[in-house]
Chains A and B, each alone.
Chain A
Amino acid sequence: MAEATHDIEIRNLYKIFGPNAAKHVESVRNGMTKEELKAQHNHVLGLDDINLTIPAGKIQVVMGLSGSGKSTLIRHINRLIDPTAGELLFDGQDIAKMSETELREFRRQRTGMVFQKFALFPHWTVLENTTYGLHVRGVSRREAEERARRWITRVGLEGFEESYPNQLSGGMQQRVGLARALTNDAEILLMDEAFSALDPLIRTDMQSVLLDLQSELKKTIVFITHDLDEALRLGERIAILRDGKIIQQGTGEQIVLRPKDDYIASFVRDVRRGHVISVRTIMRKGAHAETPVTLPASTLLEEAARAMTNAEVSRANITGRDGQHVGMVTLSKCVAEMIAPDDTEEVDPESQVA
């Protein structure tokens, strides 16, 4: 099992679409905007100075609305799109500088990809689709099929090996897409809006499948989505992209609690905060309460509120990672934080704690 050990470091990445892209990088560096570039030179600014470190073995979500450049960004990691300028460092190599052969090897050995519209090979069965990565690498058919069958079972498609993609529902087709990517047994898994085309119940289902697999596989997953709930559920780190720029990155909690601008604030307004914020951020540090309920600091507000309500108490003690006491939290504070703050009221959790 290839466990991920290398971060992917994206440094000063620019992508400009158009015939003379390289010529305009300098002007964009010096502050030319997307609109100006379009109006004056008829070139499209796809990515504008992206700096992002994607941690090994974690799920990095890149979120943005359509046209924000998120699909362009993920295609730079396996260079389905060539950058105009910048570096993509992985395991001591710059992906942007790889030769065609190196790139092919990199794609074969180190990456797997899942697509929004599944992009399965319609003329092949589930099993043949799943073995594709190994087939390309020249792995013998028998071994490839053995490994593929394992993953087909793992994503819950046992018994459908000989079906054609057209015979399967959308959710099942994307399971094939996932199995195809996993069979490659690579440390990087690129997921381009992988669940966006599925209906909500199936989508939640697939998110669980992914989280379940990841708890065991610990791959470096780059997950693109336009859906904040999905981003918060899956992402250990989230980067928000707008007009080709990263406007905020951090954990889901950081983004919900301290949205960097009105754009992000408008996004996070409808989030189920109790589902994202943990008691760590709202606890009264050092304080102690007489209560039978003790919760770890990573407990989410909803769970904390439920625990206190069930025990019919209004306070809970909070413990740190190694079990020592770190503070306490009240039920009313939990509930207050779960309700979205007024637009007028600035949320500053630090000051409220005091």
Chain B
Amino acid sequence: MDLVDFPAMGRSDLREMRIAIDGAFREFTRAYGETLENIFHPIQLLLVFIEDLLIDSPWILVLAALAGLVWALGRNLKIVGGTVLALLAIGYFGMWEDTMRTIAMVAVCTLIAVVIGIPTGILMARSDRANATVTPILDMMQTMPSFVYLIPVVMIFGLGKVPGVIAVVIYAVPPIIRLTNLGIRQVPADVLEAAEAFGSSARQKLTDVQLPLALPTIMAGVNQTIMMSLAMVVVASMIGVRGLGQPVLQAINNQYFTLGVMNGLAIVAIAIIFDRATQAYGKRLQKHLEAVHG
């Protein structure tokens, strides 16, 4: 017996297996591709709407609106000042439009991730079986090289915004699911027991006690999701998502050092803005925990 070569299945069998699966998937995309595209079409509309709004409005209004949003989240003038400076620099170096596209993309992806992620996290917190089922899927979503799941997404949707959003959401949704689950599971048992003793229904427990107490942790998940969508922007540009990722891709292909660094820094700048604003918001949510009896 030969112990050096692994007894692999035959080369021709392997090829046939691949052809069979690829063929079946291709048939599936032919049969259902259009239906799926129609289902996801509203995402395209939403994304285009936000993009147009950000790009077609006077830049000074957009700047003011973004600064106002950051203020509303963090109530911190330092962060607002930093935001304004960063956006002015971005505009001055000619990256305004691409930055707006990226912000629109991240906003839509985060929104979808929240809509999917929080209910999934709640479900996992309530049922150990759901937890055991979803956890390995999340592990796979986070470790599978993103290029691999770009393949079926592109096969179904072709190139464009929607497959980009789907790819980004797959990559960015795990942290919000995990942290919603964690946040709810970390609610102290004695507080839950008190709610129970007063006759709360399961729903009342969730909305009165579990979600509010888990909110700071959930916000940490939102923050992570935003960061990961921003990181995914460059990869998504490979399948036709426009924004700051595209010049970076172009710079890689043509060895344009300065172009790459400038757009890279722009991504870093908005990442920092989002991060500081959402973190400051998360901190504000925990105000009641800070005021300790002295």
Chain A residues near B (Cβ < 8 Å): 78, 80, 104-109, 111-113, 115, 117, 119-124, 132-133, 135-137, 164, 166-169, 180, 184, 190
Contacts and interface: CB of A to CB of B under 8 A. Distances in A.
Contacts of B196: 80, 107
Contacts of B190: 115, 117, 119
B197 A166 contact: no
B291 A167 contact: yes
A80 B200 CA distance: 12
A121 B191 contact: yes
Contacts of A117: 190
B193 A122 contact: no
A346 B272 CA distance: 80
Interface residues of B, number: 23
Contacts of A123: 212-213, 288
A169 B197 contact: no
Interface in B203-256: 204, 208-209, 212-213
25 contacts: A80-B193, A80-B196, A107-B197, A107-B199, A108-B198, A108-B199, A109-B199, A113-B198, A119-B190, A119-B193, A119-B194, A120-B191, A121-B195, A122-B289, A123-B212, A133-B198, A136-B195, A136-B198, A136-B204, A166-B288, A166-B289, A167-B292, A167-B293, A168-B293, A180-B198
B155 to A, nearest CB: 47
A190 B197 CA distance: 10
Given A166-B291, A169-B293, A122 B197 contact: no
A178 to B, nearest CB: 13
B143 interface: no
A112 B197 CA distance: 7
B57 interface: no
Contacts of A167: 291-293
What DSSP secondary structure best describes chain A's contact surface?
mixed
A184 B198 CA distance: 8
Interface of B: 188, 190-191, 193-201, 204, 208-209, 212-213, 288-293
Given A108-B198, A167-B291, A119 B204 contact: no
Contacts of B191: 119-122
Contacts of B289: 122, 166
A117 B194 CA distance: 10
A105 B291 contact: no
B252 to A, nearest CB: 48
A122 B288 contact: yes
Contact of A113 (B194, B208, B209, B213): B194
A107 B198 contact: yes
Contacts of B209: 121
Given A108-B199, A119-B190, A166-B292, 18 more contacts: A80-B196, A104-B199, A107-B196, A107-B197, A107-B198, A112-B198, A120-B191, A121-B191, A121-B194, A121-B195, A121-B209, A122-B213, A133-B198, A133-B199, A136-B208, A167-B291, A167-B292, A169-B293
Nearest to B291: A167
A169 B294 CA distance: 8
A144 to B, nearest CB: 12
A162 to B, nearest CB: 11
A117 B191 CA distance: 9
Contacts of B208: 121, 132, 135-136
Given A107-B198, A133-B198, A136-B198, A164 B288 contact: yes
A253 to B, nearest CB: 32
B193 A164 contact: no
Nearest to B204: A136
Nearest to B198: A133
Contacts of B197: 78, 80, 107, 111, 113, 190
Contacts of A113: 194, 197-198
A137 B199 contact: yes
Contacts of B195: 121, 132, 136
Nearest to A106: B199
B193 to A, nearest CB: 6
B209 to A, nearest CB: 6
B185 to A, nearest CB: 17
- Of A78, A164, A169, chain B has the most CB atoms within 10 Å of the CB of A164
Nearest to B216: A123
A14 B293 CA distance: 42
B276 to A, nearest CB: 24
B293 A132 contact: no
A80 B189 CA distance: 12
A80 B198 CA distance: 10
Contacts of A136: 195, 198-201, 204, 208
A316 B201 CA distance: 60
B207 to A, nearest CB: 11
Contacts of A164: 288, 291
A78 B200 CA distance: 13
Q: 3 closest Cβ contacts across the A-B interface?
A: A108-B199, A107-B199, A119-B194
A205 B13 CA distance: 84
B215 to A, nearest CB: 8
A119 B188 CA distance: 9
